[in-house]
Structure 1
Amino acid sequence: MLLSFILLALVGCQSAYYSAMEKVGLHKRDILVDRVEDARDSQQQAKEQFKNALERYRSVVQVQGGELEERYEALNSEFEASENSARDVRNRIEAVEDVADALFKEWKQELGEYSNASLKAASAKDLERTQKDYRLLLQRMKAAEKRIDPVLDVLRDQVLFLKHNLNARAIGALQGEYRTLAGNVDQLLADMQLAIDEADGFIRQLQSNK
């Protein structure tokens, strides 16, 4: 019961927000473009962060010299930054889903308000194409998002292990995971680039239909 109330309240808040934005000339389509841009940018930033984390991991396990405590702190810092990037990516995707659902719901409802059959058909065709493009975009974004956890899991395990075993033997143990981590990061970066490219195309398509 409480969960239902909370969900209804959230829906009401979002509806009020979209209504307020429309009064100042910012429609759901515009908000969707903005949020897709934000999601794309968050994935681009995450790409760079995970590259940095992999490089830091490599320097910890392959470069000789330096205080182990300092190397641990540096790796832990990159891990925490990676977690923050992952959280931002997820939040941005959720924001895209929210406004897209609201836009498509409104669009479908307004199809029933047409009196001109040809205009209605044209709008319905535009809706179908936009939804198809959006589904592909969301699929790309979520595919990239799913690649994040395996990377974070490896980083988390190695950071924890190093935290409690600050010695040369621990560094040797971490070396064995470098190839696994590098492979996971490569897959993540490739999927993120696909999502970024898809977002660019989706943004262009929405803007061209204005």
Structure 2
Amino acid sequence: MPYLLTILLSVTLLSGCQSAYYSAMEKVGVHKRDIMVDRVEDTNKAQQDAQEQFTSALDALKALNQFDGGDLETAYNDINDQYEASSDAAEKVSERIAATEDVADALFDEWENELSLYTSTTLKRDSEKKLRATQTSYKKMLTAMHKAESKMTPVLNTLRDNTLYLKHNLNAAAIGSLQGEFTSLQKDIQRAINDMQIAIDESERFISHLKKA
């Protein structure tokens, strides 16, 4: 129970810190909409970086799959470096998505609550229409982001397994025994890269929508 209370307290404090941050930014003329655009752009950049890193890991796997002699230690180190870099890139994507969700929740709550302040029925109806359209666009983008994010974890797990296996079996036979897994992993990485591109495209569409809403 104490552990659960600690987690709940941490979440509450974090939420409070974010609320204070948004309020402080509002006072200097930076609104939640502006922050959301910045965070979606940051997420977009993190996804592009992850896409490049996973492509690099894919190239390294292809090279290892075609290994026909050379320094096995160097081959292992290259794959291990690719795993570490890919893991860091995936973690950054998750952090950026979480930050985007936080400001989105704050923005939509504020927008929803302010609908009751209108005295003009026409303006209220127009604002509500824009809110719903923005929420729909956001959900589509977020779904694409989470789909791409979910593809990273199994890829990283398999890449880590292969890296660990190579670490303790640095011989040509070990590489040969992993070639089937390499082929499957390459396909998984390519699918993850493709899903990242879909998420990147959706985030760019959402940014465009938000700036016009």
Separation in structure 1 between the aligned mates of residue 9 and residue 80 of structure 2, nearest angstrom: 40
- Note the alpha carbon deviations across 1:2-30, whole angstroms, 9 max, x for none: 33222221111000000111111111001
One-letter code aligned to 2:19: S
2:191 to 187, 201, 208: 187
Residue 73 of structure 1 pairs with residue 77 of structure 2: yes
Partner SS, residue 186 of structure 1:
helix
> Match of 2:171?
167
> Match of 2:141?
137
CA-CA distance at 1:61 after TM superposition: 2.7
Partner SS, residue 68 of structure 2:
coil
Separation in structure 2 between the aligned mates of residue 175 and residue 89 of structure 1, nearest angstrom: 29
One-letter code aligned to 1:188: A
TM-score normalised by length of structure 1: 0.97
Partner SS, residue 112 of structure 1:
helix
Residue 84 of structure 1 pairs with residue 88 of structure 2: yes
Separation in structure 1 between the aligned mates of residue 59 and residue 8 of structure 2, nearest angstrom: 45
TM alignment of 1:78-157, pairs within 5 A: 78-157=82-161
Residue 46 of structure 1 pairs with residue 39 of structure 2: no
Separation in structure 2 between the aligned mates of residue 2 and residue 132 of structure 1, nearest angstrom: 35
Check whether the contact 2:61–2:186 (CA below 8 A) recurs between aligned residues. Answer: no
Check whether the contact 2:87–2:156 (CA below 8 A) recurs between aligned residues. Answer: yes
Q: How many residues align?
A: 209
Unpaired segments ≥5 residues, structure 1: none
One-letter code aligned to 2:192: L
CA-CA distance at 1:65 after TM superposition: 2.5
Residue 56 of structure 1 pairs with residue 50 of structure 2: no
> Match of 1:14?
18
TM-score normalised by length of structure 2: 0.95
Separation in structure 1 between the aligned mates of residue 111 and residue 191 of structure 2, nearest angstrom: 36
Separation in structure 1 between the aligned mates of residue 161 and residue 8 of structure 2, nearest angstrom: 37
Q: Percent identity?
A: 51
- Note the alpha carbon deviations across 1:21-80, whole angstroms, 9 max, x for none: 111111100110111111111111111101100111121231323211111111100100
Unpaired segments ≥5 residues, structure 2: none
Separation in structure 2 between the aligned mates of residue 153 and residue 10 of structure 1, nearest angstrom: 30
CA-CA distance at 1:197 after TM superposition: 0.5
One-letter code aligned to 1:6: S
Residue 35 of structure 1 pairs with residue 39 of structure 2: yes
Partner SS, residue 69 of structure 2:
coil
CA-CA distance at 1:185 after TM superposition: 1.1
Partner SS, residue 70 of structure 2:
coil
Separation in structure 2 between the aligned mates of residue 7 and residue 176 of structure 1, nearest angstrom: 44
Partner SS, residue 65 of structure 1:
coil
